[in-house]
């Protein structure tokens, strides 16, 4: 990272109202500062309503709820801008406003009525900055759009055609303004999704673990975070050690090992181990660290389509420049050469991709699906195979306990109490079903310690000093060597009824079995049929359930091509890999920590709204509500985006090529060529925004983005 200034305490308050504050700092002039990132950082704070950065005036205005806590958080965030807010080789926006457009338009309109010396002086004064910028670009970045613009102005000025020079300058300024507005509007739409959600967290108090609302957390509280959970605060580890993934904060993909005394970052995810963390910062103070990978991938990263479009656009600029020089060499006509040079392919091609992509992502979010960046959108459009985890994805994930079968010497209530106590901290549909049943029966849960989640198998915990195991038969019988033969006949009967089984053991002896049933989502069949109609070639189901339970479900879903049962996490990932090796473009939909390997392995990982934090972090696509038809809609939006980008590309190439040809033949003037180019660019951007924002409420979203 280069050129990163020391921003500590550099912002000065220049104006303040009860709910609005404006600050200034020269750091806003830093060439490598990413204004989008800084703006989103402040907007992500709870209580902040809007943020506006004025780069040339090096000021930032923030509207908020007026509370002292939020005011302090805003100032703290600005005075401690992190390194990731600074980008190497960051290209600045045009920074054109309506005043610039109006002034240049007025100057162009008045040019014919001014005395010749005044025309010349005014035109050269307006044209020199563009010419200088073109020369600077030529020597630093090569032949880019700025070189074309500067050359057109220079040729017009040298010919004494001051009206054309000023008119072209006004058109370019208007085009830049409209392009900036289109792209900024699509970016602003995405930023509305960055507000952190209120969440529940576990704290340790007086030797007990309690679940509280995140907003009730106090400095000094001890927060307990287990595997797969998001660390919600910035603090210090006081007990436990484990592996933590901080990629959403630092960008470093390799998990780090943390132990007592180490500091934690809010937004990181615990992959292994259980950590007890003393809260050093709470509430809005952790807002900066809570800007997760979604911000980076949405506003920064480029999809392959965007990169390819930019590369194509850059290759076409020298072609236009060479054509202009060739026309002049053949005809000696500066006017005709200038007309050719006004034609630039890059604006429409480069800008239509981010506008369409960001608008599509926003439209998908309004439909109920969050896409983490343009590449997720591209990948979703390319998918031809979808693999679903069963529980919580195709099914409601709202398991209901149907049978409680204790071993002799144990009562149903005792068995349920022990199982629910061990499962209470586990964010999984099976665990929720057991805990909810205990609460409905008014059963007091025992105090539990030493909870350990064995991914895809079950839970190990200590209840009243005795080790309790709760999980699948495979986990209890084969992994932990507990004899389950006594329950074999009853277990077979329950499975044949399509029920899921949970085996409970204590001190290495089976104490009972709990059966539950999960209903198919009512829209599941319709969604799978819609995917088939949309061109999805293959649909498969993966589950850790017993064979009979899995087949009972698959029988209700005719579009399913294959079902796999009794799977471990690595088995799910291996099936996804095999499909990919066979040439398929695979999407995997799941919701648990045990689904993470498959989510990472798939071309597109899709996480359900109730998914574990680690699953949400690993997925490229996160559903915002439980309706599977929203995923069908997101797939349609992705296909529409791909079609729109193709249409934008060929429209830009076709219109600009025709304009180039007419200009080269001398059929249109420099002014007409510039007007055609700029109007076509704005039209293509409008089409990109309109087409990709029409998923749910076409007119409403089209107005928002225009």
Query: DSSP string covering 632-674, please?
Result: HHHHHHHHHHHHHHHHHHHHHHHHHHHHHHHHHTT-S-HHHHH
pTM of the model: 0.62
**pLDDT band of 198, cuts 50, 70, 90:** very low
User: Collapsing DSSP states into helix, strand and coil, what is residue 354?
Assistant: helix
pLDDT higher than threshold 80 for residue 249: no
Model confidence pLDDT, tens digit, residues 461-472: 888 888 999 988
Provide the residue count of the chain: 706
The pLDDT, as a whole number, for residue 134 is 83
Lowest mean pLDDT among 102-106, 180-184, 271-275, 557-561: 180-184
The pLDDT, as a whole number, for residue 577 is 92
pLDDT higher than threshold 50 for residue 173: yes
Average pLDDT (301-329) is 76
User: Collapsing DSSP states into helix, strand and coil, what is residue 494?
Assistant: helix
User: Collapsing DSSP states into helix, strand and coil, what is residue 360?
Assistant: helix
pLDDT higher than threshold 60 for residue 702: no
Model confidence pLDDT, tens digit, residues 258-288: 889 988 877 677 877 889 999 886 654 443 3
pLDDT higher than threshold 50 for residue 375: yes
Average pLDDT (353-365) is 80
**pLDDT band of 6, cuts 50, 70, 90:** very low
Mean residue pLDDT across the chain: 80
CA separation for the pair 163, 176 (Å, rounded)? 20
Q: Where are the domains of the chain?
A: 12-92, 98-190+297-357+637-705, 200-290, 369-395+520-626, 400-517
Model confidence pLDDT, tens digit, residues 135-158: 888 888 788 777 777 887 888 888
pLDDT higher than threshold 60 for residue 196: no
The pLDDT, as a whole number, for residue 86 is 75
Fold of 369-395+520-626: Rossmann fold (3.40.50)
* Same topology between domain 12-92 and domain 400-517: no
Q: Which residue has the higher pLDDT, 670 or 468?
A: 468
Edge-first strand listing for the sheet containing 500-506: 400-406, 509-517, 500-506, 466-471, 458-463, 448-454
Q: Where are the beta strands (DSSP E) in 552-636?
A: 562-564, 586-590, 604-607, 621-623
Two structure tokens written together for 261: 């005394």
Model confidence pLDDT, tens digit, residues 556-599: 888 999 999 888 777 888 999 999 999 999 999 987 767 878 88
Q: Which residue has the higher pLDDT, 430 or 634?
A: 634
Architecture of domain 12-92: 2-Layer Sandwich (3.30)
CA separation for the pair 464, 413 (Å, rounded)? 16
**Any residues with CB less than 8 A from the CB of 216 and at least 6 apart, and which?**
none
Architecture of domain 200-290: Distorted Sandwich (2.70)
**Any residues with CB less than 8 A from the CB of 576 and at least 6 apart, and which?**
387, 586, 588, 598, 601, 602
CA separation for the pair 264, 246 (Å, rounded)? 9
Q: Does residue 206 carry a catalytic annotation?
A: no
CATH, range 400-517: 3.40.1110.10
**pLDDT band of 299, cuts 50, 70, 90:** low
The catalytic residue among 161, 188, 344, 389 is 389
User: Collapsing DSSP states into helix, strand and coil, what is residue 275?
Assistant: strand
């Amino acid at each position: 990272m280069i050129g990163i200034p020391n921003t500590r305490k550099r912002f000065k308050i220049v104006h303040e109202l009860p709910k609005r504050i404006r600050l200034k700092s020269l750091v806003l002039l830093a060439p490598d500062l990413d204004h989008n990132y800084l703006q989103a950082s402040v907007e992500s704070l709870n209580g902040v309503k809007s943020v506006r950065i004025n780069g040339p005036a090096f000021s930032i205005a923030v509207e908020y709820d007026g509370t002292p806590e939020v005011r302090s958080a805003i100032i703290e965030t600005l005075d401690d801008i992190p390194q990731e807010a600074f980008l190497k080789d960051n290209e600045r926006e045009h920074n054109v406003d309506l005043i610039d457009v109006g002034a240049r338009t007025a100057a162009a309109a008045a040019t014919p009525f001014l005395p010749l010396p005044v025309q010349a002086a005014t035109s050269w004064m307006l044209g020199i900055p563009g010419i200088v910028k073109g020369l600077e670009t030529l020597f630093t970045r090569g032949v880019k759009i700025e070189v074309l613009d500067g050359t057109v102005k220079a040729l017009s000025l040298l010919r004494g055609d001051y009206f054309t020079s000023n008119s072209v300058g006004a058109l370019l300024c208007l085009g830049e303004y409209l392009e900036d507005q289109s792209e900024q509007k699509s970016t602003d739409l995405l930023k509305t999704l960055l507000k952190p959600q209120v969440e529940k967290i576990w704290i340790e108090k007086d030797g007990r673990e309690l679940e509280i609302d995140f907003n009730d957390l106090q400095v000094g509280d001890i927060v307990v975070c287990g595997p797969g959970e998001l660390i919600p605060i910035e603090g210090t580890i006081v007990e436990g050690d484990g592996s933590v993934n901080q990629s959403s904060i630092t960008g470093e993909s390799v998990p780090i090992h943390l132990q007592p005394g180490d500091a934690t970052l809010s937004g990181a995810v615990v992959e292994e181990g259980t950590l007890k963390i003393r809260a050093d910062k709470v509430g809005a103070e952790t807002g900066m660290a809570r800007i997760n990978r979604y911000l980076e991938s949405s506003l920064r990263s480029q999809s392959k389509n965007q990169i390819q479009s930019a590369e194509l656009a850059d290759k076409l600029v020298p072609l236009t420049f060479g054509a202009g020089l060739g026309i002049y060499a053949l005809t000696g006509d500066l006017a005709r050469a200038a007309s050719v040079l006004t034609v630039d392919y890059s604006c429409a091609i480069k800008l239509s991709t981010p506008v369409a992509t960001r608008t599509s992502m926003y439209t998908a979010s309004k439909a109920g699906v969050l896409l983490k960046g343009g590449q997720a959108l591209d990948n979703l459009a390319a998918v031809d195979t979808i693999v679903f985890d069963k529980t919580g994805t195709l099914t409601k994930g709202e398991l209901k306990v149907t049978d409680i079968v204790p071993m002799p010497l144990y009562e149903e209530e005792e068995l349920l109490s022990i199982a629910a106590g061990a499962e209470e901290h586990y964010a999984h549909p099976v665990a929720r079903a057991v805990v909810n049943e205990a609460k409905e029966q008014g059963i007091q849960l025992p105090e539990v310690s030493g909870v350990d989640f064995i991914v895809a198998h079950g839970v190990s915990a200590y209840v009243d000093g005795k080790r309790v195991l709760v999980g699948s038969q495979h986990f209890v019988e084969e992994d932990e060597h507990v004899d389950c033969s006594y329950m074999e006949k009853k277990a077979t009967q329950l499975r044949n009824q399509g029920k899921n089984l949970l085996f409970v053991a204590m001190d290495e002896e089976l104490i009972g079995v709990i059966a539950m049933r999960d209903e198919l989502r009512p829209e599941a069949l319709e969604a799978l049929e819609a995917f088939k109609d949309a061109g999805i070639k293959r649909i498969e189901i993966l589950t850790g359930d017993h064979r009979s339970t899995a087949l009972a479900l698959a029988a209700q879903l005719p579009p399913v091509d294959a079902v796999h049962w009794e799977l471990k996490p690595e088995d799910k990932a291996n099936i996804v890999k095999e499909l990919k090796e066979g040439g398929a473009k695979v999407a995997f939909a799941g919701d648990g920590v045990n689904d993470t390997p498959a989510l990472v392995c798939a071309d597109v990982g899709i996480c359900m709204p109730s998914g574990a934090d680690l699953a949400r972090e690993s997925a490229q696509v996160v559903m915002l509500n439980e309706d599977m038809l929203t995923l069908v809609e997101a797939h349609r939006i992705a296909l529409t985006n791909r079609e729109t980008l193709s249409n934008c590309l060929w429209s830009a190439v076709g219109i600009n090529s025709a304009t180039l040809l007419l200009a080269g033949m001398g059929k249109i003037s420099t002014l007409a060529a510039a007007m055609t180019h700029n109007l076509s660019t704005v039209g293509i951007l409008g089409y990109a925004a309109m087409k990709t924002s029409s998923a749910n409420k076409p007119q409403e979203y089209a107005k928002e983005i225009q």
